[in-house]
A and B are shown apart, each in its own frame.
Chain A
Amino acid sequence: MEINNTYPPLPPRLHRRRRLRTVCGWCFLASGAACIITNLCIGGKAWSAVAVWALWMIWSTLLTPVLVENNLISRSTRLLINTCVLLVLIDLTVSSGWAAFVIPIVCYGMLIAIGLIFFLNISKQRQNMMPMLWVVAGALVAAISAIFGFSLDSWPMIALAAIAAVILIATMVILRSQFFAELKKRFHR
């Protein structure tokens, strides 16, 4: 069966990324399992949870990025969420008492960065605003919970709430009807 080749030559290393993913996947699985087993064997604090989450962070951020909307804002948002979870885990397992103060600082720092990415190129980033709005909403909910549920005595929480509110109001003022149009798209059924 003679086939007349009508297709162009291809780079021989066509699936380098996939191979890297496979190799790293197994390495990460082995490392995670080793951490858990070692932790169980030697006992003590559950530090393996931190190690496993850190591995997951690297895996999901660098090796298997999301397939839809992997833009700068959504990447930053995911990084922020993963970092917060990591900090909570460290606080719970290794040394406790500081997360409630540190996490809002990390959040508002990242929120400022995300806000800058958004407002510096608003025409392009308009379509990518939803992850930012999720973070803003999360920050406002956290701040409201702090007001009504707990004591609002830490300045990072106040700063976080203020920055989130400023970003939300600025986005609504700048985009006006487009803001609601964007929400309509995002919540269509």
Chain B
Amino acid sequence: MSADKHTAGRQAKSAAQAARRQEKADRQRAKDDCRAAKRAAKQEAGQQRAEKKQQRRAQRAYEQAAQESKRLRREHDRAFLQLTAAMNDRQQQRLRSYFGQVSQHILLPREWKQPLLRDFERGIAYHLRRGQTLERTLELLDPLNLGGFYSSPASMWWPLDNAAKVYPISMSHDQMEVFRLSVYLREEVVPEILQLALDFTIKRFPFFATTVKNGFFWHYIDTAKRRFAVEPERTIPCAPMNVSLTGAQSFRIVYYRNRVSAEFFHILTDGSGGMVFLKSLIAEYLRLLGHDIPCGCGVLDINERPDPAESADDFAKAAVKGRRGSGFAGKPARQMSGYLTRTKPCQVLHFELDAGQLHQHARERGVSVTVYTLGLMFVAGKAATEENDGMFQIQVPVNMRQYYPSSTIRNFSLYCSIGLPVGEITTVDEILPRIASQLQQQGSRESMLEMMNSAVQLVNSLKYVPRVLKTALGKYVYGFFSDRIFSNTLSNLGVIELPEEMRPYIEKMDFVLGMSLTNRAACSMVTVNNTAVLSIAKATVDPTFEEKIYALLKENGLPFSLSGSELYGN
């Protein structure tokens, strides 16, 4: 009995001990949980603090850059006054007569005339500070380069070309078809001279010196006689432009360190036309710096009269009457995974490759550089897609100038679509033959002609529909037909030719496409001076796509360097 009691007591004691142990363990666990939660909260607070700190730093850096730019401008204005004060009477007389000539070329309202005159003052001050003689400076900045552009009334206007008609209809406050071409110089950009180069160059491209207007049936572009400004780069690449104000420009020229970028609203031109403008601008910039740059290789003579063929809508000319087109509709393509960012593009990346090696690499596989790059994109796209079904479609713009003799600088490109089922995308080498054959077939003259006929037919069928109705429907239709049916884009501008005398001053170029509504990435490529730059504009923070491209390039033994922007937010 007593033994039983003893056993029961022991059991109760051990049960109590176990309960205490359990309680202790529970308390410990609760404490640990509490500590972990506190740690997480602390970490989160720390992260938030760091983010705020980073934001403040970015704000400070931005304000500093803006102040610096203002300070420099003030300094240049002061420098001009000091320099002219130190001149002798003859020089001052010469300068007065020079500005008289400049004034004669500018019959614009005061709000535009004053800044233009200031451009000349800044340009002269720059050269004089560099030790250039007054005579040589005035010779370089000859006001004859202004031509009659700023002294004649605005009378020209152009209907939008067939490809451009959709852009103003489909744009929204956050979405605009803008692309960017950049040239990297060997030296830092001189903003004063770049501004003068633009002042001189714009007259050669009269359809760029325009503003978008509303017609009853279609939008059109109307001449805007004003000073077109060069600005320091202060916003994300391919940011939407405000084209709504009187005389608002549809392109922007920005500079940052040694880079000059031209961003175009697609209604003006395509990549090839934009490149002609940028090359002519840079050639003029180099000339104003005192270098001898001839015309040719796509560099136009800025003092030549603009050829009407350059502003022609060659779609209408090249389309064949009565021939039916294939249409634009298609099944939705598989999109890459990753949340779409509100900021588009949220990041821009540039893979800088040796063009010779890249070409060699493609040739070893019996394909072109475009096909090889498409192969990389398909494999990287598959890696960035969680689904294993559906079609991965890549839009490839095709320059129609290769099929039709055309000297237009406006839009004259169409696109073809290269697609593979996601499940059938294996390795780059395995899919290249299929891509090559598709590209050959889809990008052929016949296919492009069909597409061009479709475009012309579509425009013709809508020509009596009031613009208000087109605009109301355009955004949705455009998103449905043109965006969702592709997963990605590759626009390869190819090898850019430059005059031999210009090459030493140019390091490289890049080409960035603006983002569409649902695609997570858009790729573009341009080659100059044996440097091929593959640019990726992104609309998702998910880095899988570019990481796979990075890994594939490494695997294939292609040396490259990677540059780009920070993440602009999500």
A residues within 8 Å of B by Cβ? 1-15, 18, 21, 64-71, 123-125, 127-128, 130, 181, 185-189
Contact = CB atoms under 8 A, between A and B. Distances in A.
A188 B463 CA distance: 9
Contacts of B569: 14-15
12 contacts: A3-B564, A5-B563, A6-B565, A7-B565, A8-B65, A8-B233, A9-B65, A13-B59, A68-B212, A68-B243, A186-B213, A188-B217
Contacts of A8: 65, 232-234, 256
A113 to B, nearest CB: 17
A189 to B, nearest CB: 4
Contacts of B215: 185-188
Interface string B209-244: 001111111111010000000001111110000011
Nearest to A2: B562
Interface stretch (B94-102, B122-130, B168-176, B291-299): B168-176
A189 B217 contact: yes
A127 B174 contact: no
A175 to B, nearest CB: 12
Interface string B399-440: 000000000000000000000000000000000000000000
B70 to A, nearest CB: 15
B220 A185 contact: yes
Contacts of B236: 10, 14
A176 to B, nearest CB: 13
A3 B154 contact: no
Contacts of A186: 213-216
Given A4-B561, A4-B562, 11 more contacts: A5-B563, A5-B565, A6-B259, A11-B58, A11-B234, A14-B343, A15-B569, A66-B244, A67-B171, A68-B168, A68-B243
Instruction: Please classify the interface of chain A as helix (H, G, I), strand (E, B), loop, or mixed, using the class held by over half of its residues.
Output: loop
Contacts of B154: 127
A149 to B, nearest CB: 25
Nearest to A123: B109
B109 A128 contact: no
A9 B172 CA distance: 26
B246 A7 contact: no
Interface in B527-570: 543, 546-547, 550, 561-566, 568-569
A125 B213 CA distance: 13
A21 B172 CA distance: 13
Nearest to A3: B564
B235 A4 contact: no
A10 B234 contact: yes
A18 B546 CA distance: 28
A146 B288 CA distance: 65
B29 interface: no
A1 B562 contact: yes
Nearest to A19: B342
B390 interface: no
A2 B173 CA distance: 33
Contacts of B232: 8
A12 B51 CA distance: 11
Contacts of A65: 244
Contact of B213 (A7, A21, A127, A189): A127
Contacts of B343: 14-15
A127 B222 contact: yes
Contacts of B173: 18, 21, 64, 67
B235 A10 contact: yes
B244 A3 contact: no
A128 B171 CA distance: 21
A160 B417 CA distance: 57
A9 B219 CA distance: 35
Interface in B49-67: 55, 58-59, 61-62, 65
Contacts of A70: 244-245
B481 interface: no
B171 A189 contact: no
A187 B246 contact: no
Nearest to B352: A4
A68 B219 CA distance: 9
Contact of B62 (A9, A124, A185, A187): A9
A4 B565 CA distance: 8
Contact of B55 (A7, A12, A67, A68): A12
A18 B565 contact: no
B246 A5 contact: no
Interface in B271-311: none
A122 to B, nearest CB: 12
A184 to B, nearest CB: 9
Contacts of A3: 349, 562-564
Contact of A7 (B214, B464, B566): B566
A127 B234 CA distance: 30
Contact of B174 (A12, A18, A185, A188): A18
Nearest to B257: A6
A128 B244 CA distance: 11
A64 to B, nearest CB: 6
Given A11-B62, A68-B212, A188-B215, A4 B563 contact: yes
Given A21-B173, A67-B171, A124-B246, A7 B562 contact: no
A5 B562 CA distance: 9
Nearest to B235: A10
B213 A69 contact: yes
A67 B211 CA distance: 12
Contacts of A130: 214
A102 to B, nearest CB: 27
B393 to A, nearest CB: 26
Nearest to A128: B246
B464 A15 contact: no
Contacts of A9: 58, 61-62, 65
